[in-house]
Amino acid sequence: MNFTVSFNARDFSAPIPIGLKPEVTALTWCAQGGPEGATLRLSGPLESLLDLTCLLRCPVTVCDEYFEPVWWGFVSKIILFFEEVSFSVDIDQLTNHVTVAYTALTQPGTAAETLTTVPVEDKPSQAIYGVKQILLQREEMDENFALFLAETFLGERAWPKSALSQSKAAAQPTAILTCAGWFETLGWSNFTFPYGTLANTDGQGSFQFDDSVLRRKPGQVFLAEQELALLSVDFLLSRTNAETRTLTAFLYATDATGKPSNLLATSGTVPATAVPEGAYAWVRFTFDPPVSLSEGDSYFIGVDANLTHSAHYFHIKIDEEAHFPGGKAYYQSSTTPTWSLIPASTYPCQPDLYFKLRCVCDSADLLGAAVGFGDQFFSRVVVEPTGIPICPYRLKPVNCLAEVKRLMALGTANARPLLADVSADRGLHFYEQPDASEPAVYVDSQFRMVTGDGVPMPPWTPPVGKYARLMTARLTDPFDGKRVPTTFIERVTYTPQTGRVRINP
Amino acid sequence: MNQIAIGDSSGMTVIHGELISPPYRRTTCFFNFEDQHEISERIEVEIAGTPTQIQEVLERFNQIRLRAQLYESGTYYSPQYLRFQQAHGDPTYRTPISNLRLAVNREGYLTTRKGSVILTLHYTRPPWFDKGLYSVPLSSRTSSDVVTGVTLVNHCDAGASDFNSVYTKHSGIETSLPAPLKLEIEFLTGASTLNDLLIGMYHNPGDDRGEGHFYCNASDFSGGTVIYNAGAINNFYRSLSWSANTWTSLATAAITDAMMEKLDYKAYRPILHLFNSHAYSDLYLKCALLDGSDLIYESDPVHADPAYGYVLFPPLHLPPHRTLRDLDPKGLTLAVYGFKDNTSTYVITFDQLILLPLDYAMQFKGFFNMTQGDVFVYDQASGLCNVRTGSGTKEIQYQLPLGGSLMLFPGRTSRFILLWTNSANQVVINDSVKVIAYYRKRTNIL
């Protein structure tokens, strides 16, 4: 196969003619990200090869003889061999956005606070290569130490580094270009998602309710900062008698004045026996199915028993120091109904409740959010819903690619992992791994691959992310009883010079 | 051998036979006919003359060696050639040589003083000799065997001059091996541009088989609504409207038995020419082949980028399977499927689906725009292209060649179809070019 290789400007605006013809020596594709790696070999005058170092992070496309792109990504490393010198430049170590997460210096016996510096960045480097973030984790330092550490680290890593070593004498100057797939660039960013849980668990105070129709449904107003679904709420409750009662949580919309207005949903009931008498305990109320919350809207979440009685009532823990910033605590003070602020008895603040909200989203939404953090080069992202609701809360920064892979491994409600592919125009698509019992590819004893439709597949368009079945005279599909398990093609490496195809090497 | 010479267009030195001059006496070739991409060979050049003359020969050969090196590094304009003429008056054949190494006979340091030396030139060459550049007689609907250029427009339909392909007759091509083409394509339209250029070639033994099997017009399809518009290819376009959020068959066209027979198990790139660009950023399309209602093949989906006035589908073999070929292939139905992930109503319009043949095919990806009078030149022998700007006195590169190669096949009719886009990624159907073609006759054995 006579491959042609084209390089583009880093902003994808125009091709870069390099005046040399690269020889494709290996191509690798992976079910988790599509084109994964390529190596190209170029020979020519040393000056021309040295110019290739300018191609770092430039987009590269390998086309077959029908000018169909078969591999695409970017140049990640360039190694030059000439005479007895090996000289390399790579982008792996480059970092142009540094943040230090550190624990502050503390007195003995005092809990160390975990802090994060503001990021220090090298904008010119980012403009050329894209943003490559790193989060350094360090123990026991002060703010200045952390900031200067970030500055020094950035100073050392903001631009590509070269390496020199002696090598075996080269017959002629040669360059080896190592290329990586675009999926890898998700690992250049960190990801946080501080949404999905809301809680207030601090402060003093309590509120007695359901001892009268004038003291019912204590609850908390909160702001939904993201479009998520409310799965459960926990309140810190105690009871006085009332063991025959049942408790329910209520979700209300709020009106323009911030008070509860329309009832939106009711949780499952909890028997009052789940609430301790004479002590407080967290009691969970679950909404099944989860209730969608709209981004930017305020809601009221409250709790109530099925009956009121002057000798059978409940206590809910409140925070008279008002630690929760997003809303206030209300209760229903008449059957009209009228809603009033829960009063404070000891502090001059408007109290909040003790509560813990847990929201969920389809894991595909979190995957989309994680990709959104790391997306610098993709033209579009498509994530198919997985049907798995999870809490998206990620306070501590994690590597985007690591999080994406974690969510891909979580898979779908069909108990299959997610796969990802990047198209030639850099569209990123996540999809469910196919059914193992329905192979899409058949491999014969000469290692020729054909589709289920009987169409031959050239090795440079390999069926990664699909199941293959070995097909010989004795192993045919589906008529014999000698079924062997199908092989999942997770990774394929093709070596054009030898024609060798390695599956899952 | 009547004559052997070495050098380039700046000067050939005769080293054997007719017109040889002292101190050259004769040359012996040690040809190698291994089946390799690049063959290692040597020639022995016998030299007899004064030490000064011999020194001049050595300097000449060193000059040739250095020029070959410089050419490989891109700093000399031409490769070095060995040129052969078998008989007086015959045409010459030449082959480019590289990796030159010079040696003299062991006792050369002694014999030089006596007036003779045997110079051995080791080199590598491709496994062919070419006979120089010849005009390709081009034929079309309106002309036959034209060497001065044929005008093509950017589409093909029933209009008398509405065609975008030319062909060479199988009897008009004299070459033993596939012969590299050199194309000159002049952009003729004012107030327009040429950016990307696609060229697909179809070879067949015998006479030309026409062009109808490369095009499916809107009126050939079923599905949607066909609408008359004088601005559309063949005066009709088809409007497709759907709202489902699953893969939906939008339009189908019959590939008849006769068409399939002409398509001849070769690879084609389906190109959907949109009548109006769409504005959907989440639209995917794919091609499928059906036998009756049975889906027998479907291509990978492609993203229909709203910034483009056409959709390039992945290559498709027609028919899709390899068969015994005892009989002619059966016709199939070609379907276009669409997908989007919402239930809004989408409308796309198209006026033609082109099956660009890929026997040999290339895409020239533009990074600057050609304007009226610019001439695009591609020489397959070197793999390089340029654009002669309007004045014709200077050259520049505007396109990057992608894909295979453009070759004429011995004993076969070759039809090549051209399609190009402007700076706005639109196929402007009435833009025109003039095409002139040359080829280098090739043989592997002299």
Cα–Cα distances in angstroms (integers) from residue B429 to residues A240, B197, B216, in the given order: 85, 13, 15
**Could you tell me where the beta strands, DSSP code E, fall in A342-475?**
352-353, 355-362, 380-383, 389-390, 394-399, 418-422, 427-432, 441-443, 449-451, 456-457, 467-470
B37 Cβ under 8 Å from any chain A Cβ: no
Please compute Rg for chain A using Cα positions.
30
C-alpha A283/C-alpha A280 separation (Å) is 9
Range of the domain at A387: 361-415
The tokens describing B351, both together, are: 């006026």
Mutate: best of B303, B358, B420, partner A, most A CBs <10 A: B303
Q: Could you tell me the residue ranges of all domains in chain B?
A: 3-127, 133-443
Q: Are residues A25 and A174 in the same domain?
A: yes
Helix (H, G, I), strand (E, B) or coil at A484: coil
Look at residues A353, A376, A395 and tell me which one is the last residue of a structural domain. A353
Q: Are residues A233 and A330 in the same domain?
A: yes
Question: Is the residue at A72 inside a domain?
Answer: yes
Q: Are residues A339 and A389 in the same domain?
A: no
pLDDT in tens, B280-307: 999 999 999 999 999 999 998 999 999 9
How far apart are the CA of B52 and the nearest CA of chain A, in angstroms? Answer: 33
Question: Is the residue at A229 inside a domain?
Answer: yes
Question: Is residue B382 within 8 Å of residue B98, measured between CB atoms?
Answer: no
The ipTM (two decimal places) reads 0.75
Indicate yes or no: CB of B320 within 8 angstroms of CB of A2.
no
- Mean pLDDT is lowest, of A70-74, A455-459, B257-261, for A455-459
C-alpha B81/C-alpha B76 separation (Å) is 14
Which of B73, B305, B362 has the CB atom closest to A67's CB atom? B362
A2 Cβ under 8 Å from any chain B Cβ: yes
Question: Is the residue at A135 inside a domain?
Answer: yes
Number of domains in chain A: 5
Question: Is the residue at A128 inside a domain?
Answer: yes
Q: Where does the pLDDT of residue A108 fall: very low under 50, low under 70, confident under 90, or very high at 90 and above?
A: confident
Does residue A477 surpass a pLDDT of 70?
Answer: no
pTM of the complete model: 0.83
Mutate: best of B402, B417, B421, B423, partner A, most A CBs <10 A: B402
Q: Are residues A55 and A130 in the same domain?
A: no
Q: Are residues A314 and A395 in the same domain?
A: no
Report the chain A residue with the minimal C-alpha distance to residue B359: A66
Indicate yes or no: CB of A6 within 8 angstroms of CB of B303.
no
With pLDDT > 70 as the criterion, what percentage of chain B qualifies?
100
Say what the pLDDT of residue B112 is: 66
Which of A44, A66, A453 has the CB atom closest to B296's CB atom? A453
Cα–Cα distances in angstroms (integers) from residue B307 to residues A21, B277, B427, in the given order: 31, 8, 12
Say what the pLDDT of residue B330 is: 95
pLDDT in tens, B329-370: 999 999 999 999 899 999 999 999 999 999 889 999 998 999
Q: Are residues A293 and A257 in the same domain?
A: yes
Question: Is the residue at A153 inside a domain?
Answer: no
| Neighbour tally for B402: CB within 10 Å | 26
Question: Is the residue at A295 inside a domain?
Answer: yes
Q: Are residues A11 and A139 in the same domain?
A: no
CATH code of the domain containing A327: 2.60.120
C-alpha B248/C-alpha B332 separation (Å) is 18
pLDDT in tens, A403-440: 999 999 999 999 999 999 999 999 999 999 999 888 88
Question: Is residue B84 within 8 Å of residue B130, measured between CB atoms?
Answer: no
**Contacts across the A-B interface (CB distance below 8 Å):** 76
Look at residues A332, A353, A374 and tell me which one is the last residue of a structural domain. A353
Closest Cα to residue A188, out of A375, A340, A348? A375
Q: Where does the pLDDT of residue B10 fall: very low under 50, low under 70, confident under 90, or very high at 90 and above?
A: very high
Look at residues A353, A379, A400 and tell me which one is the last residue of a structural domain. A353
B267 Cβ under 8 Å from any chain A Cβ: yes
Question: Is the residue at A282 inside a domain?
Answer: yes
Q: Are residues A20 and A64 in the same domain?
A: yes
| A388-408 average pLDDT score | 92
> A439, exposed or middle or buried, with CB in 10 Å at 0-12, 13-18, 19+?
buried
Cα–Cα distances in angstroms (integers) from residue B163 to residues A120, B405, B406, in the given order: 60, 23, 20
Give the contacts of B2 (CB within 8 A, at least 6 positions apart).
B17, B18, B85, B86, B87, B88, B90
Q: Where does the pLDDT of residue B392 fall: very low under 50, low under 70, confident under 90, or very high at 90 and above?
A: confident
Q: Are residues A258 and A280 in the same domain?
A: yes
Question: Is residue A465 within 8 Å of residue A449, measured between CB atoms?
Answer: no
Q: Where does the pLDDT of residue A483 fall: very low under 50, low under 70, confident under 90, or very high at 90 and above?
A: low
C-alpha B165/C-alpha B422 separation (Å) is 19
Residue in the block written with tokens 């769409």 = B278
Task: Examine residue B22 and say whether the peptide bond preceding it is cis (omega within 30 degrees of 0).
Answer: no
Q: Which residues of A touch B269 (CB under 8 A)?
A: 66, 68
Q: Are residues A140 and A225 in the same domain?
A: no
A112 Cβ under 8 Å from any chain B Cβ: no
Closest Cα to residue B284, out of B215, B336, B353? B336
Which of B198, B367, B405 has the CB atom closest to A2's CB atom? B405
The tokens describing A367, both together, are: 């995957």
Say what the pLDDT of residue B104 is: 86
Q: Which residues of B touch A453 (CB under 8 A)?
A: 296-298, 320-321
How far apart are the CA of A273 and the nearest CA of chain B, in angstroms? Answer: 48
